[in-house]
Protein backbone atom coordinates (compact mmCIF):
# COMPACT_ATOMS: atom_id res chain seq x y z
CA UNK A 1 0.00 0.00 0.00
CA UNK A 2 1.40 3.39 -0.98
CA UNK A 3 1.93 6.03 1.67
CA UNK A 4 -0.86 8.62 1.93
CA UNK A 5 -0.29 11.97 0.27
CA UNK A 6 -0.12 14.96 2.58
CA UNK A 7 -2.36 18.03 2.31
CA UNK A 8 -1.66 21.41 3.91
CA UNK A 9 -4.47 23.98 3.96
CA UNK A 10 -3.94 27.57 5.12
CA UNK A 11 -7.25 29.26 5.87
CA UNK A 12 -7.79 33.00 5.78
CA UNK A 13 -10.82 35.02 6.86
CA UNK A 14 -14.23 34.04 8.16
CA UNK A 15 -15.72 30.96 9.79
CA UNK A 16 -17.26 29.95 6.47
CA UNK A 17 -13.75 29.52 5.11
CA UNK A 18 -12.92 27.31 8.10
CA UNK A 19 -15.94 25.16 7.24
CA UNK A 20 -14.99 25.13 3.53
CA UNK A 21 -11.44 24.06 4.38
CA UNK A 22 -12.78 21.11 6.36
CA UNK A 23 -14.91 20.04 3.43
CA UNK A 24 -12.05 20.45 0.95
CA UNK A 25 -9.89 18.20 3.11
CA UNK A 26 -12.70 15.63 3.09
CA UNK A 27 -13.10 15.92 -0.68
CA UNK A 28 -9.40 15.21 -1.20
CA UNK A 29 -9.44 12.48 1.45
CA UNK A 30 -11.06 10.27 -1.15
CA UNK A 31 -7.96 10.81 -3.31
CA UNK A 32 -5.67 9.51 -0.58
CA UNK A 33 -4.72 12.76 1.15
CA UNK A 34 -4.29 13.23 4.88
CA UNK A 35 -3.80 16.64 6.46
CA UNK A 36 -0.46 17.87 7.75
CA UNK A 37 0.28 20.96 9.81
CA UNK A 38 3.59 21.62 8.03
CA UNK A 39 3.67 23.08 4.52
CA UNK A 40 7.19 21.68 4.12
CA UNK A 41 5.84 18.11 4.36
CA UNK A 42 2.95 18.58 1.94
CA UNK A 43 2.32 17.03 -1.45
CA UNK A 44 -0.41 19.63 -2.03
CA UNK A 45 -0.85 23.10 -0.54
CA UNK A 46 -4.17 24.97 -0.70
CA UNK A 47 -4.52 28.62 0.26
CA UNK A 48 -8.19 29.17 1.12
CA UNK A 49 -8.48 32.90 0.68
CA UNK A 50 -10.68 35.78 1.85
CA UNK A 51 -11.26 39.04 -0.05
CA UNK A 52 -12.63 41.10 2.84
CA UNK A 53 -9.43 42.42 4.41
CA UNK A 54 -7.29 45.19 2.97
CA UNK A 55 -4.91 44.21 0.16
CA UNK A 56 -6.10 40.60 0.44
CA UNK A 57 -4.99 39.65 -3.08
CA UNK A 58 -1.50 41.13 -2.68
CA UNK A 59 -1.02 39.21 0.58
CA UNK A 60 -1.81 35.97 -1.25
CA UNK A 61 0.66 36.80 -4.03
CA UNK A 62 3.31 37.45 -1.35
CA UNK A 63 2.53 34.10 0.29
CA UNK A 64 2.86 32.37 -3.08
CA UNK A 65 6.19 34.10 -3.62
CA UNK A 66 7.47 32.59 -0.37
CA UNK A 67 6.40 29.16 -1.58
CA UNK A 68 8.69 29.21 -4.59
CA UNK A 69 11.44 27.64 -2.48
CA UNK A 70 9.14 24.77 -1.51
CA UNK A 71 8.26 24.15 -5.15
CA UNK A 72 11.93 24.30 -6.15
CA UNK A 73 12.84 21.76 -3.47
CA UNK A 74 9.91 19.52 -4.39
CA UNK A 75 8.96 19.82 -8.08
CA UNK A 76 6.06 17.37 -7.54
CA UNK A 77 4.43 19.71 -4.99
CA UNK A 78 1.03 20.95 -6.16
CA UNK A 79 -0.14 24.42 -5.10
CA UNK A 80 -3.72 25.67 -5.28
CA UNK A 81 -5.55 28.89 -4.50
CA UNK A 82 -9.19 28.58 -3.41
CA UNK A 83 -11.85 30.87 -1.98
CA UNK A 84 -12.86 34.45 -2.69
CA UNK A 85 -9.55 35.79 -4.00
CA UNK A 86 -9.48 32.82 -6.37
CA UNK A 87 -12.98 33.74 -7.55
CA UNK A 88 -12.07 37.40 -8.02
CA UNK A 89 -8.63 36.98 -9.62
CA UNK A 90 -9.11 33.78 -11.66
CA UNK A 91 -6.52 33.37 -14.43
CA UNK A 92 -4.57 36.40 -13.16
CA UNK A 93 -3.29 34.26 -10.28
CA UNK A 94 -1.75 31.70 -12.62
CA UNK A 95 -0.35 34.44 -14.85
CA UNK A 96 1.37 36.24 -11.97
CA UNK A 97 2.44 33.09 -10.12
CA UNK A 98 3.23 30.20 -12.50
CA UNK A 99 3.90 27.92 -9.51
CA UNK A 100 0.11 27.71 -9.00
CA UNK A 101 -1.37 24.48 -10.38
CA UNK A 102 -5.06 25.01 -9.64
CA UNK A 103 -7.46 27.85 -8.89
CA UNK A 104 -10.97 27.11 -7.65
CA UNK A 105 -13.73 29.43 -6.42
CA UNK A 106 -15.79 28.88 -3.26
CA UNK A 107 -18.78 27.46 -5.15
CA UNK A 108 -16.79 24.78 -6.99
CA UNK A 109 -14.54 23.11 -4.43
CA UNK A 110 -16.55 19.88 -4.71
CA UNK A 111 -14.77 19.52 -8.05
CA UNK A 112 -11.35 19.38 -6.37
CA UNK A 113 -10.90 15.60 -6.85
CA UNK A 114 -11.26 15.93 -10.63
CA UNK A 115 -9.00 18.97 -10.64
CA UNK A 116 -6.40 17.06 -8.62
CA UNK A 117 -6.37 14.31 -11.24
CA UNK A 118 -5.81 16.94 -13.91
CA UNK A 119 -2.87 18.61 -12.17
CA UNK A 120 -1.25 15.25 -11.41
CA UNK A 121 -1.26 14.71 -15.18
CA UNK A 122 0.73 17.91 -15.58
CA UNK A 123 -2.10 20.24 -16.58
CA UNK A 124 -3.33 23.45 -14.98
CA UNK A 125 -6.87 23.48 -13.53
CA UNK A 126 -9.12 26.52 -13.20
CA UNK A 127 -12.77 26.57 -12.05
CA UNK A 128 -14.45 29.80 -10.97
CA UNK A 129 -17.95 28.92 -12.17
CA UNK A 130 -21.16 29.21 -10.19
CA UNK A 131 -22.33 25.65 -10.94
CA UNK A 132 -25.97 24.65 -10.76
CA UNK A 133 -25.29 21.50 -8.75
CA UNK A 134 -25.26 21.66 -4.93
CA UNK A 135 -21.63 21.45 -3.87
CA UNK A 136 -22.62 20.15 -0.44
CA UNK A 137 -24.67 17.33 -1.94
CA UNK A 138 -21.86 16.37 -4.32
CA UNK A 139 -19.36 15.95 -1.51
CA UNK A 140 -19.10 12.64 0.27
CA UNK A 141 -20.33 12.51 3.86
CA UNK A 142 -18.04 13.54 6.64
CA UNK A 143 -15.85 10.75 8.04
CA UNK A 144 -17.02 9.40 11.38
CA UNK A 145 -13.84 10.18 13.31
CA UNK A 146 -14.20 11.83 16.73
CA UNK A 147 -13.95 15.62 16.65
CA UNK A 148 -13.99 18.61 18.98
CA UNK A 149 -17.10 19.67 20.90
CA UNK A 150 -17.96 22.68 18.71
CA UNK A 151 -18.40 22.88 14.94
CA UNK A 152 -19.42 25.22 12.15
CA UNK A 153 -22.22 24.25 9.78
CA UNK A 154 -22.89 26.31 6.65
CA UNK A 155 -26.62 26.72 5.99
CA UNK A 156 -26.67 29.68 3.60
CA UNK A 157 -24.26 31.24 1.12
CA UNK A 158 -24.09 34.39 -0.95
CA UNK A 159 -25.72 37.77 -0.47
CA UNK A 160 -28.28 39.88 -2.34
CA UNK A 161 -27.75 43.06 -0.29
CA UNK A 162 -24.98 44.60 -2.45
CA UNK A 163 -23.49 46.84 0.23
CA UNK A 164 -21.36 49.43 -1.56
CA UNK A 165 -18.13 48.29 0.11
CA UNK A 166 -18.52 44.51 -0.19
CA UNK A 167 -17.31 41.95 -2.75
CA UNK A 168 -19.31 39.00 -1.37
CA UNK A 169 -22.14 39.15 -3.95
CA UNK A 170 -19.49 38.97 -6.67
CA UNK A 171 -17.33 36.22 -5.14
CA UNK A 172 -19.96 34.06 -3.42
CA UNK A 173 -22.93 34.80 -5.66
CA UNK A 174 -26.62 35.22 -4.92
CA UNK A 175 -28.26 34.04 -1.69
CA UNK A 176 -28.79 30.28 -1.63
CA UNK A 177 -30.14 28.28 1.31
CA UNK A 178 -29.36 24.60 1.83
CA UNK A 179 -32.33 22.21 2.20
CA UNK A 180 -33.29 21.74 5.84
CA UNK A 181 -33.15 17.93 5.79
CA UNK A 182 -29.51 17.95 4.64
CA UNK A 183 -28.59 20.40 7.40
CA UNK A 184 -30.34 18.29 10.03
CA UNK A 185 -28.63 15.13 8.77
CA UNK A 186 -25.23 16.79 8.93
CA UNK A 187 -25.99 18.13 12.40
CA UNK A 188 -26.89 14.65 13.68
CA UNK A 189 -23.71 13.24 12.19
CA UNK A 190 -21.68 15.93 13.93
CA UNK A 191 -23.33 15.13 17.26
CA UNK A 192 -22.53 11.42 16.73
CA UNK A 193 -18.89 12.45 16.42
CA UNK A 194 -18.86 14.34 19.72
CA UNK A 195 -20.06 17.82 18.79
CA UNK A 196 -22.15 19.55 21.46
CA UNK A 197 -22.36 23.05 19.96
CA UNK A 198 -23.09 24.05 16.36
CA UNK A 199 -22.71 27.52 14.86
CA UNK A 200 -24.86 27.99 11.77
CA UNK A 201 -23.02 29.97 9.11
CA UNK A 202 -24.09 32.21 6.26
CA UNK A 203 -22.97 35.41 4.63
CA UNK A 204 -26.48 36.59 5.49
CA UNK A 205 -27.54 33.73 7.71
CA UNK A 206 -30.84 35.14 8.95
CA UNK A 207 -32.07 35.37 5.36
CA UNK A 208 -32.16 31.55 5.42
CA UNK A 209 -35.19 30.01 3.69
CA UNK A 210 -34.41 26.33 3.21
CA UNK A 211 -36.67 23.81 1.55
CA UNK A 212 -38.29 21.11 3.68
CA UNK A 213 -41.10 18.59 3.30
CA UNK A 214 -43.45 21.13 4.88
CA UNK A 215 -42.38 24.13 2.82
CA UNK A 216 -39.52 26.58 3.25
CA UNK A 217 -38.19 27.02 6.78
CA UNK A 218 -36.99 30.32 8.22
CA UNK A 219 -33.82 30.36 10.30
CA UNK A 220 -35.91 30.37 13.48
CA UNK A 221 -37.85 27.30 12.32
CA UNK A 222 -34.58 25.56 11.44
CA UNK A 223 -33.27 26.34 14.93
CA UNK A 224 -36.39 24.79 16.46
CA UNK A 225 -35.80 21.63 14.36
CA UNK A 226 -32.20 21.53 15.59
CA UNK A 227 -33.48 21.99 19.13
CA UNK A 228 -34.97 18.47 18.81
CA UNK A 229 -31.58 16.85 18.06
CA UNK A 230 -30.59 14.76 21.08
CA UNK A 231 -27.08 15.48 22.29
CA UNK A 232 -26.90 18.93 20.70
CA UNK A 233 -26.65 21.33 23.63
CA UNK A 234 -25.98 24.70 22.04
CA UNK A 235 -26.92 26.57 18.86
CA UNK A 236 -25.43 29.81 17.54
CA UNK A 237 -25.59 31.61 14.19
CA UNK A 238 -23.59 34.25 12.30
CA UNK A 239 -23.49 36.65 10.43
CA UNK A 240 -26.81 38.52 10.48
CA UNK A 241 -28.18 41.50 8.61
CA UNK A 242 -30.46 43.81 10.62
CA UNK A 243 -33.08 43.86 7.85
CA UNK A 244 -33.56 40.08 8.10
CA UNK A 245 -33.96 39.88 11.88
CA UNK A 246 -37.54 38.59 11.75
CA UNK A 247 -40.04 38.38 14.62
CA UNK A 248 -39.82 34.60 14.99
CA UNK A 249 -36.02 34.76 15.28
CA UNK A 250 -36.21 37.47 17.93
CA UNK A 251 -38.77 35.38 19.80
CA UNK A 252 -36.55 32.28 19.58
CA UNK A 253 -33.83 34.12 21.48
CA UNK A 254 -36.22 34.40 24.40
CA UNK A 255 -37.78 30.93 24.25
CA UNK A 256 -35.28 28.42 22.82
CA UNK A 257 -33.00 27.22 25.62
CA UNK A 258 -30.40 25.84 23.21
CA UNK A 259 -30.05 29.15 21.34
CA UNK A 260 -27.22 30.95 23.12
CA UNK A 261 -27.52 34.57 24.36
CA UNK A 262 -25.01 35.98 21.87
CA UNK A 263 -25.79 37.80 18.63
CA UNK A 264 -23.46 39.27 16.02
CA UNK A 265 -25.47 42.07 14.38
CA UNK A 266 -23.30 44.36 12.20
CA UNK A 267 -24.38 47.99 11.80
CA UNK A 268 -21.20 49.43 10.13
CA UNK A 269 -21.97 53.09 10.94
CA UNK A 270 -24.16 55.25 13.14
CA UNK A 271 -24.66 57.92 10.48
CA UNK A 272 -27.77 57.70 8.32
CA UNK A 273 -25.94 59.54 5.53
CA UNK A 274 -23.13 56.98 5.53
CA UNK A 275 -25.53 54.05 5.88
CA UNK A 276 -27.32 55.28 2.77
CA UNK A 277 -23.99 55.65 0.93
CA UNK A 278 -23.17 52.10 2.01
CA UNK A 279 -26.53 50.86 0.66
CA UNK A 280 -27.29 49.24 4.01
CA UNK A 281 -31.08 49.85 3.68
CA UNK A 282 -31.55 50.57 7.36
CA UNK A 283 -31.09 53.62 9.57
CA UNK A 284 -29.36 54.09 12.90
CA UNK A 285 -32.76 54.54 14.54
CA UNK A 286 -34.23 51.36 13.05
CA UNK A 287 -31.14 49.47 14.25
CA UNK A 288 -31.47 50.86 17.78
CA UNK A 289 -35.17 49.96 17.91
CA UNK A 290 -34.30 46.45 16.71
CA UNK A 291 -31.76 46.14 19.53
CA UNK A 292 -34.49 47.18 21.99
CA UNK A 293 -36.78 44.42 20.73
CA UNK A 294 -34.04 41.80 20.92
CA UNK A 295 -33.15 42.79 24.47
CA UNK A 296 -36.80 42.77 25.45
CA UNK A 297 -36.93 39.14 24.32
CA UNK A 298 -33.58 38.21 25.92
CA UNK A 299 -32.40 40.87 28.41
CA UNK A 300 -29.00 39.25 29.07
CA UNK A 301 -28.02 38.85 25.40
CA UNK A 302 -24.47 39.88 24.51
CA UNK A 303 -24.31 41.90 21.30
CA UNK A 304 -21.43 41.99 18.86
CA UNK A 305 -21.04 44.30 15.87
CA UNK A 306 -18.96 45.36 12.85
CA UNK A 307 -17.86 48.92 12.06
CA UNK A 308 -16.18 50.55 9.08
CA UNK A 309 -14.40 53.83 9.84
CA UNK A 310 -13.36 56.35 7.21
CA UNK A 311 -15.91 55.33 4.59
CA UNK A 312 -15.85 57.76 1.62
CA UNK A 313 -17.42 61.14 2.53
CA UNK A 314 -17.49 60.37 6.28
CA UNK A 315 -17.26 63.64 8.22
CA UNK A 316 -16.42 64.12 11.88
CA UNK A 317 -20.16 64.51 12.55
CA UNK A 318 -20.83 61.18 10.83
CA UNK A 319 -18.15 59.52 12.93
CA UNK A 320 -19.55 61.07 16.10
CA UNK A 321 -22.91 59.52 15.23
CA UNK A 322 -21.17 56.12 15.22
CA UNK A 323 -19.68 56.79 18.65
CA UNK A 324 -23.12 57.84 19.91
CA UNK A 325 -24.69 54.63 18.63
CA UNK A 326 -21.97 52.52 20.28
CA UNK A 327 -22.52 54.36 23.57
CA UNK A 328 -26.23 53.56 23.41
CA UNK A 329 -25.95 49.90 22.41
CA UNK A 330 -23.02 48.90 24.69
CA UNK A 331 -21.40 46.03 22.79
CA UNK A 332 -19.86 43.03 24.50
CA UNK A 333 -17.42 42.66 21.61
CA UNK A 334 -17.01 44.21 18.17
CA UNK A 335 -14.84 44.27 15.07
CA UNK A 336 -13.77 47.59 13.57
CA UNK A 337 -11.72 48.42 10.49
CA UNK A 338 -10.64 51.32 8.35
CA UNK A 339 -12.37 51.38 4.99
CA UNK A 340 -10.28 49.90 2.20
CA UNK A 341 -11.20 49.98 -1.47
CA UNK A 342 -12.48 46.83 -3.16
CA UNK A 343 -12.15 47.12 -6.95
CA UNK A 344 -15.45 46.59 -8.72
CA UNK A 345 -17.63 47.75 -5.82
CA UNK A 346 -19.67 50.98 -6.04
CA UNK A 347 -17.67 52.71 -3.29
CA UNK A 348 -14.37 52.09 -5.06
CA UNK A 349 -14.77 55.17 -7.27
CA UNK A 350 -15.47 57.60 -4.43
CA UNK A 351 -12.92 60.01 -2.86
CA UNK A 352 -11.21 58.59 0.22
CA UNK A 353 -11.07 60.09 3.70
CA UNK A 354 -7.56 61.22 4.65
CA UNK A 355 -5.59 58.19 5.90
CA UNK A 356 -4.40 59.90 9.10
CA UNK A 357 -7.92 61.08 9.89
CA UNK A 358 -9.33 57.57 9.37
CA UNK A 359 -6.59 56.06 11.56
CA UNK A 360 -7.25 58.53 14.36
CA UNK A 361 -10.98 57.82 14.23
CA UNK A 362 -10.38 54.08 14.32
CA UNK A 363 -8.25 54.47 17.45
CA UNK A 364 -11.00 56.44 19.17
CA UNK A 365 -13.66 53.89 18.23
CA UNK A 366 -11.55 50.95 19.30
CA UNK A 367 -10.80 52.59 22.64
CA UNK A 368 -14.55 52.93 23.27
CA UNK A 369 -15.30 49.36 22.15
CA UNK A 370 -12.45 48.01 24.31
CA UNK A 371 -13.81 49.87 27.34
CA UNK A 372 -17.27 48.42 26.75
CA UNK A 373 -15.88 44.89 26.30
CA UNK A 374 -13.98 45.25 29.57
CA UNK A 375 -17.08 46.49 31.39
CA UNK A 376 -19.20 43.61 30.08
CA UNK A 377 -16.57 41.06 31.09
CA UNK A 378 -16.20 42.59 34.55
CA UNK A 379 -19.98 42.43 34.98
CA UNK A 380 -19.70 38.65 34.61
CA UNK A 381 -17.65 38.36 37.82
CA UNK A 382 -19.80 36.79 40.51
CA UNK A 383 -22.20 35.23 38.02
CA UNK A 384 -22.83 31.57 37.28
CA UNK A 385 -22.52 30.54 33.62
CA UNK A 386 -22.54 27.41 31.54
CA UNK A 387 -19.22 26.45 29.98
CA UNK A 388 -18.52 23.91 27.23
CA UNK A 389 -15.02 22.56 27.91
CA UNK A 390 -12.89 22.56 24.75
CA UNK A 391 -9.27 21.91 25.74
CA UNK A 392 -6.85 21.58 28.67
CA UNK A 393 -5.42 24.83 30.03
CA UNK A 394 -1.78 25.69 30.56
CA UNK A 395 -1.90 25.09 34.31
CA UNK A 396 -2.26 21.65 35.93
CA UNK A 397 -5.92 20.76 36.47
CA UNK A 398 -7.10 23.67 34.36
CA UNK A 399 -9.61 23.42 31.48
CA UNK A 400 -10.61 26.08 28.96
CA UNK A 401 -14.02 26.47 27.34
CA UNK A 402 -16.59 28.90 26.01
CA UNK A 403 -19.38 30.38 28.10
CA UNK A 404 -22.98 30.82 26.99
CA UNK A 405 -21.94 34.36 26.00
CA UNK A 406 -18.92 33.15 23.96
CA UNK A 407 -16.39 34.33 26.51
CA UNK A 408 -13.28 32.19 26.87
CA UNK A 409 -13.27 30.82 30.43
CA UNK A 410 -10.33 29.24 32.29
CA UNK A 411 -11.68 26.78 34.85
CA UNK A 412 -9.31 25.84 37.67
CA UNK A 413 -9.21 22.59 39.66
CA UNK A 414 -11.36 20.94 37.02
CA UNK A 415 -11.67 17.16 36.91
CA UNK A 416 -13.99 17.14 33.88
CA UNK A 417 -13.21 16.23 30.27
CA UNK A 418 -13.25 17.95 26.89
CA UNK A 419 -16.85 18.05 25.66
CA UNK A 420 -18.40 18.23 29.13
CA UNK A 421 -20.94 20.96 29.88
CA UNK A 422 -20.31 22.42 33.35
CA UNK A 423 -21.61 25.22 35.54
CA UNK A 424 -18.95 27.71 36.55
CA UNK A 425 -18.77 30.58 39.05
CA UNK A 426 -16.85 33.48 37.46
CA UNK A 427 -14.23 34.88 39.86
CA UNK A 428 -12.06 37.17 37.71
CA UNK A 429 -11.83 38.98 34.36
CA UNK A 430 -8.67 39.56 32.34
CA UNK A 431 -8.04 41.19 28.96
CA UNK A 432 -9.66 38.57 26.70
CA UNK A 433 -10.93 35.88 29.04
CA UNK A 434 -12.60 35.04 32.32
CA UNK A 435 -11.51 32.81 35.21
CA UNK A 436 -13.95 30.58 37.01
CA UNK A 437 -14.42 27.85 39.58
CA UNK A 438 -16.33 24.65 38.95
CA UNK A 439 -19.68 24.47 40.76
CA UNK A 440 -19.89 20.98 42.23
DSSP letters, 19-30, are: HHHHHHHHHHHT
Number of Cα atoms under 13 Å in the Cβ half of residue 420: 14
For residues 71 and 77, is the Cβ–Cβ distance under 8 A?
Answer: yes
163 is annotated as contributing to ligand binding: yes
414 is annotated as contributing to ligand binding: no
50 is annotated as contributing to ligand binding: yes
Buried/exposed code over 62-82 (b: 16+ C-beta within 10 A; e: otherwise): ebbeebeebbeeeeebbbbbb
d(CA 10, CA 69): 17
DSSP 8-state secondary structure symbol assigned to residue 350: S
d(CA 18, CA 352): 32
Phi-psi region of 330 (alpha: psi -120 to 50; beta: other; left: phi over 0): left
> How many Å from the N-terminal Cα to the C-terminal Cα in the chain?
51
Distances (CA, A) of 264 to 23, 158, 167, 289, 294: 25, 18, 20, 16, 12
The residue ranges of DSSP E strands in 273-398, in sequence order, are: 302-309, 333-338, 384-392
6 membership: H or E segment, kind and range: strand 5-11
Q: Which residues are annotated as a binding site?
A: 14, 50, 84, 159, 163, 166
Q: Which residues are annotated as a binding site for [4Fe-4S] cluster?
A: 14, 50, 84, 159, 163, 166
Amino acid sequence: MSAPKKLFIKTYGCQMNVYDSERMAEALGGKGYVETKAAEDADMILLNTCHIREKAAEKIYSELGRMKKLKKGNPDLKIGVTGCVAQAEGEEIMRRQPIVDLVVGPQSYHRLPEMETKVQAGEKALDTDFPEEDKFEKLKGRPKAKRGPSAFLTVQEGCDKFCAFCVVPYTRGAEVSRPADRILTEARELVERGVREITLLGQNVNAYHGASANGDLTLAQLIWELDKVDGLERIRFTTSHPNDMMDDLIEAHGTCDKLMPYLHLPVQSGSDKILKRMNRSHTAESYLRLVERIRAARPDILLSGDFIVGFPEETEADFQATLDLVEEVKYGTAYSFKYSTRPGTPAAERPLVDEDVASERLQRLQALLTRQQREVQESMVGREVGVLLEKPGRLPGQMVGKSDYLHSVHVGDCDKEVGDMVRVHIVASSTNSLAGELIR
